[in-house]
Amino acid sequence: MSPTGLTPRGTRAGLALLGAGVAGACIVTAAPANARGYVSVLVGAGLLLLGAGAGWRLSGLVGAALGCLGSAFLLGHVGSEGVPGLVALVAPLLFASSELAHWSMDLATPVHDEPGVHLARWIWFLSSVAMAVVLSVLLVRVAAVRIDGGLTLAPLAVVASLCLLGLAVGLARRQPSS
pTM over 0.95: no
Q: What pLDDT does 62 receive? A: 92
Q: What pLDDT does 41 receive? A: 95
Tens-of-pLDDT digits for all 178 residues of the chain?
444 445 677 888 889 999 999 999 999 988 888 889 999 999 999 999 999 998 888 889 999 999 999 889 988 887 776 667 788 889 899 999 998 888 888 765 555 556 677 788 888 888 888 888 887 787 777 766 666 655 566 666 667 777 777 777 777 666 555 4
Residue 66's domain spans which residues?
Answer: 9-173
Rounded distance between C-alpha atoms, residue 152 and residue 145, angstroms: 6
Rounded distance between C-alpha atoms, residue 161 and residue 151, angstroms: 18
Q: 164-171: long-range contacts (C-beta < 8 A, 24 or more apart)?
A: 164/91, 164/132, 164/135, 164/136, 164/139, 165/66, 165/70, 165/91, 165/94, 165/95, 168/91, 168/94, 168/95, 168/98, 168/132, 169/63, 169/66, 169/95, 169/98, 171/128
Asked, for residue 3, whether it belongs to a domain, the answer is no
Domain count, the chain: 1
Rounded distance between C-alpha atoms, residue 178 and residue 164, angstroms: 25
Q: What pLDDT does 3 receive? A: 44
Q: What pLDDT does 146 receive? A: 66
Q: Taking a C-beta distance cutoff of 8 angstroms, is the pair 77, 35 a contact?
A: no
Q: Which helix (H) or strand (E) holds 16?
A: helix 9-30
